[in-house]
Structure 1
Amino acid sequence: MTPQPDLPDPAHHDVDSMLSRKFGREVANYFSGSPLNRVSFLRADHAFISKALVHPSTSFLLFNDLAPLAHDMTKLAYATHEEIKPLIGENPFEKTEEQMIKEYNSTITLPLVLFLGLDERKKEGFEHGIYKGIPYFAVDVTPKGTIEKQANSVVEAMKAKGLKFVEGRMHMSLNAPEAAIYAQARALLDWNARNPFCGGCGQPTLSVNAGTKRVCPPTDFAELPTAQAGATTVSTTPRERASCATRRGVSNLSFPRTDPTVIMAVVSHDGKRVLLGRQKRWPDYWYSTLAGFCEPAESVEEAVRREVWEESGVLLGRVVIHSTQPWPYPANLMIGAIGQALPDGEKIHLEHDPELQDAKWVEMDDIREALLHGTSGLGEPPSEGYKEGGLRLPPKTAIANQLLAAVTGGFLDITEQSKI
């Protein structure tokens, strides 16, 4: 079994404050806690981005079809500017955003290069005004389009060094800081890959702002129909593209999306049991907390109550938010909550949503035992000390584990139940 990595440290966990005394210490979940300062306001600063990309200290995290370059399952590997020049050229940011839009040609595949941020813990490197640190970028080296040959050369060069692109949907064994860097890069790469066309007019879009926005250019050097005649002849001047609503006003942008989901530990009204559910595809005895997507015009608390009722038939009263977890598969933010069942709402029935194969109330002591000896990822054997037939739960890198640890470890004060 792959060892479970440590979780990131909560921000300012050693500082006493009014809020921490009242609500407890902040909880940091896996995929959060990035060591990078994103300095997001500098992504549009052409001088900053173009200088950061070519600096000798800069690190490049490479992805091949969303698989990150790594030494092994626990440690990412980074490339240098020289190693990726065959793909991206000397500097893909040498042109301003305005120039790129003006010279846009949708038939040319541009290498996708994302700026992730600065590691300010290592100040001996890149400097730009008051900002110092090691710049981090992510590069999509997936062989495709007009850059297939160049991308293949970079991929093969990395493999020749003994590195590998780690396949698989879940990368839950990386050390915590690198897991956060990976999550940011993967989410942005996936968003760019899923949005090659404009949502307003259906025409190809261009990635700008160091990979964090996409625009619908007004002209195109490609052989596309013109707005006037619908012709497809070659021209040495850019063709005017069909009209698009995104080019009017200030909305000529497409931003990365984040889809909120709720995941909740549901406690019985007497505070002695927790509701768990399982899907048919899961291993035997493996259960987790319930979860689902927030819907439009729905609060987090409403989403928690709705999803629990739809999946299990249980009715909830008070709902409180515990912590959140970025989940880059592809673009979720998991909002962890704790809810308490109503006195007459604890009966389980699965006649609504068929998602769950089973749901049941589990005693606190059984959950405590499983947290010690029965946790694992979905494709892995249970942890050491597990007894066959016992309850199995998600690993500590999953927010479900943190929610269960909270309700069994004193998050709920039984003497204060009436306030929950």
Structure 2
Amino acid sequence: MTSSDALIPNPAHIQAETMLARQFGRETANYFSSSPLNRLSFLRSDHPFLSAALQHPSTRFVLLKDLAPLVQTAAPAAPYYARYDEIQPLVPATLYDQSEEDLLNAYDSRTPAAATPIFLGLDETAPKREGAFTWKSYAGTPYFALDVTGPRGGEEEQQAPYRQVVEALEAKGLSFLQARVVMSFAADQAAIYAQARALIDWNTRNTFCGTCGQRTVAVHSGTKRACPATDRARPAAGRPACSTRTTISNLSFPRTDPTVIVAVLSADAQRILLGRGKRFPPHWYSTLAGFVEPAESVEDAVRREVWEEAGVTLSRVVLHSSQPWPYPANLMIGAIAQVSDAAHEAITLEHDPELEDARWFDIAEVEEALRNGVSALGDAPGPEYTEGALRLPPPTAIANQLIRAAISIDLLGGEKNSKI
């Protein structure tokens, strides 16, 4: 298993002594964040750039099949980054010969949708070598994501090249990692995988226009989808009118769902509120969480979710950090909050029956769980764990980082609550 230190990324900014660093301390970077890639989003529609990057010898492809990542089978499993020659049957070298405008004008619904490589960015951290990929002032290793699942329900002729690519990769001893949640990759690998998974999943779910119901086409290297105005399969009838072609919202963008997650401290800052879902393992608790609703601030969402799920009324809410969560497209916005008065600490599960239980835990019990009782949902706790004691999420979960931060804050003007 990858060591816990390798799983926690460093902040993706320059580490320097600044006014903000002195005031607020070190930035917390959570698992799936702090990607080593420069996304260069402004080049996603630059087809000469994409064409050059696509075929460069250094370019690497993150491959997913049914959203399962291709990995090397030697333990611990690590992503396998394919070369262009390994996926060429799916991605012709001429893919970017036409502009996006020409591709949309040439749309033909009789032609099966081609595999769409999604440009993820350049890894500029790799040592610069002779022959490295360069474009204007940018240099690094290009990364693309590619879905090798193949068209669902497609004809044998359409499925054949996908099967050919997959079988050739599996013949090399590679496999697609089957897991509901993948949280075992090293930090940099996890951030790249998260971006690839989220974008492939979004493209898979959005093959039809949400306004007119017609098929959409991937543009901007798979990071946007457009509704073509014409269809060569029916030049006389054309496609139905669609408002997405006449307004500023003429493209479909990847979805990100903001979700709040919060570590709640008691009024005296000596206890922390945790809840357990109905499917959690025995004694396994976590911080409370929920989706942000339309026209709702993050702070208001935190207060609402905690009251709805546990009946506790919060006072001050402070934002702590965030975590991309590509299952399928959440952004976990972490907060620390506190109750202002002991009278507001009473727990009730009568409002929203989402939780099986919610409890206040003493700081000492939480500290012990952080030492010996952390594990992923499907894993057993460590050998030092005492049966029946509190269990908590692993360090790769933002819940763990929030709990650690909450019990370490000097809220009462004295010594910090925790020695963790």
Counterparts of residues 141-160 of structure 1 (less than 5 Å): 141-144=148-151, 145=154, 147-160=158-171
Q: Output the CA distance in 2 between the equivalents of 1:282 and 1:352.
A: 20
Counterparts of residues 102-117 of structure 1 (less than 5 Å): 102-107=105-110, 108-117=112-121
Q: Output the CA distance in 1 between the equivalents of 2:261 and 2:176.
A: 31
**What's the TM-score, normalizing by structure 2?**
0.93
Q: Output the CA distance in 2 between the equivalents of 1:24 and 1:121.
A: 25
2:307–2:313 Cα contact (<8 Å) kept: yes
1:276–1:290 Cα contact (<8 Å) kept: yes
Q: Output the CA distance in 1 between the equivalents of 2:287 and 2:357.
A: 12
1:13–1:26 Cα contact (<8 Å) kept: no
Alignment counterpart, residue 189 of structure 1, candidates 200, 206, 211 = 200
Please state if 1:131 is matched with 2:138: yes
2:90–2:114 Cα contact (<8 Å) kept: no
CA apart distance, 1:13? 6.5
What's 2:345 paired with? Answer: 346
Please state if 1:200 is matched with 2:211: yes
**1:175-212: CA deviations, max 9, x gaps?**
00000000000000011111111111111100000000
**What's the TM-score, normalizing by structure 1?**
0.93
Letter in 1 for 2:366: I
Q: Output the CA distance in 2 between the equivalents of 1:292 and 1:285.
A: 21
1:214–1:255 Cα contact (<8 Å) kept: yes
Counterparts of residues 82-121 of structure 1 (less than 5 Å): 82-107=85-110, 108-121=112-125
1:50–1:93 Cα contact (<8 Å) kept: yes
**Which moved further from structure 2: 203-212 or 213-222?**
213-222
What's 1:76 paired with? Answer: 79
Please state if 1:173 is matched with 2:180: no
Q: Output the CA distance in 2 between the equivalents of 1:167 and 1:377.
A: 16
Please state if 1:403 is matched with 2:402: yes
1:220–1:238 Cα contact (<8 Å) kept: no
CA apart distance, 1:378? 0.5
CA apart distance, 1:57? 0.8
Letter in 1 for 2:101: E
CA apart distance, 1:14? 3.6
What's 2:393 paired with? Answer: 394
Helix, strand or coil at the partner of 2:278: coil
What's 2:363 paired with? Answer: 364
Letter in 2 for 1:115: F
1:241–1:12 distance in 2 versus 1, CA, 3 Å: closer
**1:51-75: CA deviations, max 9, x gaps?**
1101111001111011111114541
What's 2:19 paired with? Answer: 18
CA apart distance, 1:407? 1.4
2:62–2:82 Cα contact (<8 Å) kept: yes
**Which moved further from structure 2: 317-326 or 93-102?**
93-102
**Which moved further from structure 2: 371-380 or 13-22?**
13-22
CA apart distance, 1:2? 7.2
Letter in 2 for 1:322: H
Helix, strand or coil at the partner of 1:325: strand
1:53–1:91 Cα contact (<8 Å) kept: no
**Which moved further from structure 2: 380-389 or 66-75?**
66-75
2:260–2:334 Cα contact (<8 Å) kept: yes
Identical-residue share of aligned pairs (%): 57
Aligned residues: 403
Please state if 1:332 is matched with 2:360: no
2:381–2:391 Cα contact (<8 Å) kept: yes
Counterparts of residues 219-368 of structure 1 (less than 5 Å): 219-222=230-233, 237=235, 240-343=238-341, 344-368=343-367
Q: Output the CA distance in 1 between the equivalents of 2:217 and 2:102.
A: 12
Across the aligned residues of Structure 1 and Structure 2, the Cα RMSD in angstroms comes to 1.6
1:412–1:202 distance in 2 versus 1, CA, 3 Å: farther
1:11–1:26 Cα contact (<8 Å) kept: no
What's 1:377 paired with? Answer: 376
Letter in 1 for 2:12: A
Stretches of structure 2 lacking an aligned partner (at least 5 in a row): 416-420
Q: Output the CA distance in 2 between the equivalents of 1:238 and 1:366.
A: 72
Helix, strand or coil at the partner of 1:152: helix
Letter in 2 for 1:61: V
1:219–1:239 Cα contact (<8 Å) kept: no
1:51–1:16 distance in 2 versus 1, CA, 3 Å: same
Q: Output the CA distance in 1 between the equivalents of 2:94 and 2:187.
A: 31
**1:275-333: CA deviations, max 9, x gaps?**
00001211100000000000000000000000000000000000000000000011100
CA apart distance, 1:244? 0.3
**Which moved further from structure 2: 104-113 or 278-287?**
104-113
Letter in 1 for 2:356: Q
Q: Output the CA distance in 2 between the equivalents of 1:313 and 1:58.
A: 52
CA apart distance, 1:416? 8.1
Q: Output the CA distance in 1 between the equivalents of 2:300 and 2:410.
A: 21
